[in-house]
Structure 1
């Protein structure tokens, strides 16, 4: 190897060709001892990662061979800078070759990479710096590295934590000489993953090489990978579904991939479908519900989708990361059936960072299957016989992946039978090692190797159905209400989009709890606003049986997590502190 290595070589102007779908290198399903071994093997083939501009034009093909070369250069540079195994390296997870090389280089050096979010979801410079500082305080890294475009913010966060700061070019121009790399054991920590809701009290999930590779092998086995499969993704690399499912998995299972940056997808979501259209092999692509929703909304009824898109080779359209909405999925099918999209391609799943990623995956070809469940059963409340029964469609999230057990437990810890709703627990090789430096939080959710997911659900004939997050439950006068039920009901009114409503409970002046519903309002006329509030109040009363606090708030004021999910806890905090200011309505 040369003494001087450029981490990301400049690309000469020429016709760029993407890395191929198929390879003569025999595919191995993540059956390696460490992730470094997985990259060593993938680098022997011709597949790799491919980065695209906002319009979906290929700007940088990046073979696994190049990635390994650059990762080794990064490892040598880290060691030359004094990093030792177990040190943490915080990385702003920008979708691109720089992050990929530094992440893998840290792994080679025995350093724990810590992917952190970009500023797109945090409502301003100060909020972003605060978020970074909180996560840096938890991870205690030796250095924070990120793109030069946001260096002012990342440097400010690094100063607050007292860690070193660098930009991508400080490593892309690395010139450290090759040296011996530390030996890595499968039980060593590979990386730290912060969950998307990690704001006030962040929990860094410590994932070992063994856990990572077990999950990568399990979910690829569940998806029944085929030789011509290719991954297309816009998911952020600081979220477990993007990092593990659409980056690390591609290396460990030798799959080529195409990427749009998350912020580019937000501006031009249909570019995602353009990439899928151009793939000549089978496409695998995952998205939370809102990704499918925004694409369906961008297509007008007059648009001839078959003229622009060919989605007939979209083999697996994964759903995950938030509650799966069957109505949104049906709207997507309706919008893109003429382009060849098949409803059977949908692949619901359930997972969380504490289990590395996948816990359950639907068998390919079964699509979305739902069960209608009475809302009283979902909340555990007695049936009000004076009111007609109401039902919610609960989506089947599939079967446990290989080497994973799932059980439902009641309040006293007993295992429940089919169709009995309780807390979801899982156990398997890919369950996390611990929360980094947080033994109390670790002990609270890990019991004898079993992980308390914090989610509520039930099993039926080996399949898992997720009902909601236990901590989101609204309990008023001893009766339980799921916030999703309230939010979904309001979304049925004209003019509302998915994510426009946040429901939670608040304490009134008399000490009693009551539901509060914050709703994005795009109406400017004062009279129309009053009418809208009363309409929403009637709708919510029909669900809860009581009057609620209805607040109309400016569009885009409801906060989201770094992965794009509505953050009810943060919405409640901002509302109570006055940072979300509702519109004033006339009496």
Structure 2
């Protein structure tokens, strides 16, 4: 189950200048071949005047863009203050993508080769991504760096991704050109830099051969792969099947428009708010993740001003807004237009959704708009969805071993055309309300990891994908309980680490995303360890906090926990997408990197 939990704290310390994107867009405007009206301050409309609405049904991204470009809808890019930086109608996106494609060919890049795209939220990324599609070249979106002092680590990770993808080039936003060039040294990447080096290339006078049905589409690196990057191969057929199934499950129509702050290197941001809306000719307003981190209420302000109907976020995004609502003027918002507030990409926290509803019901938010969902990059993005405008369903599950109960959010029915089995350790499918490992088969399932045969063989067999996630059936719908590798087993009893983490994070001295729970062998037993990113200056305060954490662990899981307090620098280990890495934290603990 893919996640972007934890990215916001890091983004709050991002060294990128706040006005960097605005200056970049102004400079890039002068390089475009589209008409000047692209840069006016009026967003693209929700409705096309004459182009008939199509709910997907295309065989490739270029076929979908060729159709969408006949209308007036498109993407709108906003800054942290809600100011429109620029608009990118699909018609202009296509024109610029075709030009970019011919320049890639003019540079001698061959069909099927890979181009790394540092996926910041700006028009250049979209143009390059679709330009690759038209040129027959495979784009590889990768994250932007997060956090101060992250340069050396980011360059190290980017170099590994270039090597893993055997990429021939790297496109970076202006602020990250130095990073890209440093990472590309000594690799297969012969082009590395900003948009200006690509727009300076000659346009080849050739007939384009786009990536079509049955061919590649892009490669997405799994957010959990920190040591040896795993690139998920996404092909046109799998992507189109997933997009068609997702927008059907969501009931997308000609009246819908979206607002998103999700990162474009993550499947929920890229497919959910770039590729799928384009396939349905919908307009989307985009806010960069770092700008959302600085001014989170701008997310809801855009929805209110633009009368958007669709948005999505992991639980922590809704939680951040709820906290800000304590001091922000909620009464100025009108959220009555929202008919789909998706929740996914991480374990769904029911108390967070309830608090959000309470905080924003005066602003017109209807709790029935919540749509819990489940998915992962290995099936493109979404696999199951709650009912449209059906709100949150909750199931109270009692562990047969411990007798302890907890509430889980139901993640809906599996998308049409896909099959899911929940199996026990012997591989036998389980019935209703029995927790097991999720396996999925269907048209959205990836063909494998890019040039990683052994890793592919471990998760794919006879067309069935081992998701690595645990869950159970509830009246024909999926309930997700966590990752199999993260499950804590003490005295034969299953303990979900997120239960411990959420309980600890509820303490006033601990922030959201500042706790990490796992188990280690301690003689003949498994011991629970909780690493907490909080370190009061006074010894007495630290001792009191450790006592509070131990009590929270006892109440949440019925076990004693070993508590380790650490400082925020270097802090808890996270993946490139900001996800907490329990495996890495456990390794660091075992290596003695944390005090005991």
Question: Counterparts of 1:127-206 in structure 2 under 5 Å?
Answer: 127-164=153-190, 165-182=192-209, 184-206=211-233
Please, which of 384, 389, 393 is the counterpart of residue 369 of structure 1? Answer: 393
Deviation at 1:21, TM superposition (A): 0.3
Kept in 1, the 8 Å contact 2:310–2:340? The answer is: yes
Whole-angstrom distance in 2 between the partners of 1:183 and 1:147: 25
Deviation at 1:148, TM superposition (A): 2.2
1:573 corresponds in structure 2 to: 587
Pairing 1:61–2:87 present = yes
1:19 corresponds in structure 2 to: 44
Deviation at 1:8, TM superposition (A): 6.7
Whole-angstrom distance in 2 between the partners of 1:261 and 1:304: 22
Pairing 1:357–2:381 present = yes
Q: Cα distance 1:8–1:354, how it changes in 2: closer, same or farther (>3 A)?
A: farther
Question: Counterparts of 1:299-310 in structure 2 under 5 Å?
Answer: 299-300=325-326, 303-306=328-331, 308-310=332-334
Kept in 1, the 8 Å contact 2:233–2:447? The answer is: yes
Please, which of 515, 526, 542 is the counterpart of residue 528 of structure 2? Answer: 515
1:431-472: CA deviation from partner (whole Å, max 9, x where unpaired)? 111111011111111121111111000112221100100010
Pairing 1:524–2:551 present = no
Q: Which runs of 5+ in 2 are unaligned?
A: 1-29
1:279 corresponds in structure 2 to: 306
1:90 corresponds in structure 2 to: 116
Whole-angstrom distance in 2 between the partners of 1:328 and 1:8: 46
2:27 corresponds in structure 1 to: none
1:36 corresponds in structure 2 to: 62
1:172-219: CA deviation from partner (whole Å, max 9, x where unpaired)? 445414411125441111110112212112211111111111111110
2:129 corresponds in structure 1 to: 103
Kept in 2, the 8 Å contact 1:322–1:565? The answer is: no
Deviation at 1:539, TM superposition (A): 2.5
Please, which of 185, 188, 213 is the counterpart of residue 240 of structure 2? Answer: 213
Whole-angstrom distance in 2 between the partners of 1:513 and 1:341: 45
TM-score normalized with structure 2 length:
0.90
Pairing 1:449–2:463 present = yes
Whole-angstrom distance in 1 between the partners of 2:543 and 2:556: 20
**Secondary structure of the corresponding residue to residue 339 of structure 2:** strand
Kept in 1, the 8 Å contact 2:44–2:73? The answer is: yes
Kept in 1, the 8 Å contact 2:39–2:86? The answer is: no
Whole-angstrom distance in 1 between the partners of 2:556 and 2:323: 27
Pairing 1:470–2:496 present = no
Kept in 1, the 8 Å contact 2:107–2:202? The answer is: no
Question: Counterparts of 1:349-428 in structure 2 under 5 Å?
Answer: 349-374=373-398, 376-377=399-400, 382-383=401-402, 389-428=403-442
Q: Cα distance 1:347–1:544, how it changes in 2: closer, same or farther (>3 A)?
A: closer
Please, which of 150, 156, 176 is the counterpart of residue 124 of structure 1? Answer: 150
Deviation at 1:574, TM superposition (A): 3.9
Pairing 1:551–2:564 present = yes
Kept in 2, the 8 Å contact 1:394–1:467? The answer is: yes
Q: Cα distance 1:160–1:395, how it changes in 2: closer, same or farther (>3 A)?
A: farther
Whole-angstrom distance in 2 between the partners of 1:122 and 1:194: 23
Deviation at 1:316, TM superposition (A): 0.6
Q: Cα distance 1:27–1:481, how it changes in 2: closer, same or farther (>3 A)?
A: same
Pairing 1:340–2:353 present = no
2:473 corresponds in structure 1 to: 459
Whole-angstrom distance in 1 between the partners of 2:451 and 2:204: 34
Whole-angstrom distance in 1 between the partners of 2:39 and 2:277: 26
Kept in 2, the 8 Å contact 1:44–1:65? The answer is: yes
1:386 corresponds in structure 2 to: none
Kept in 1, the 8 Å contact 2:499–2:557? The answer is: no
Whole-angstrom distance in 2 between the partners of 1:261 and 1:9: 24
Whole-angstrom distance in 2 between the partners of 1:290 and 1:123: 24
- With 537-546 and 348-357 compared, the bigger mean Cα shift is at 537-546
Whole-angstrom distance in 2 between the partners of 1:577 and 1:135: 26
Deviation at 1:122, TM superposition (A): 8.6
Whole-angstrom distance in 2 between the partners of 1:453 and 1:236: 23
1:433 corresponds in structure 2 to: 447
- With 409-418 and 540-549 compared, the bigger mean Cα shift is at 540-549
Name which structure has the greater RCO, CA cutoff 8 Å, separation 6+. 2
**Secondary structure of the corresponding residue to residue 120 of structure 1:** coil
Kept in 1, the 8 Å contact 2:459–2:465? The answer is: yes
Question: Counterparts of 1:224-303 in structure 2 under 5 Å?
Answer: 224-280=251-307, 282-300=308-326, 303=328
- With 494-503 and 336-345 compared, the bigger mean Cα shift is at 494-503
1:368-401: CA deviation from partner (whole Å, max 9, x where unpaired)? 1111112x34xxxx33xxxxx4321111101111
**Secondary structure of the corresponding residue to residue 272 of structure 1:** helix
Q: Cα distance 1:114–1:478, how it changes in 2: closer, same or farther (>3 A)?
A: same
Deviation at 1:102, TM superposition (A): 0.6
Whole-angstrom distance in 2 between the partners of 1:113 and 1:297: 38
Question: What is the aligned length?
Answer: 564
Kept in 1, the 8 Å contact 2:45–2:72? The answer is: yes
Deviation at 1:223, TM superposition (A): 0.7
Please, which of 514, 526, 548 is the counterpart of residue 500 of structure 1? Answer: 514
Kept in 2, the 8 Å contact 1:133–1:160? The answer is: no
Deviation at 1:291, TM superposition (A): 0.6
1:333-372: CA deviation from partner (whole Å, max 9, x where unpaired)? 1111111111111011000000011100111111111111
Q: Cα distance 1:259–1:184, how it changes in 2: closer, same or farther (>3 A)?
A: closer
Whole-angstrom distance in 2 between the partners of 1:138 and 1:184: 21
Deviation at 1:575, TM superposition (A): 4.0
Whole-angstrom distance in 1 between the partners of 2:143 and 2:162: 12
Q: Cα distance 1:42–1:13, how it changes in 2: closer, same or farther (>3 A)?
A: closer
Q: Cα distance 1:235–1:432, how it changes in 2: closer, same or farther (>3 A)?
A: same
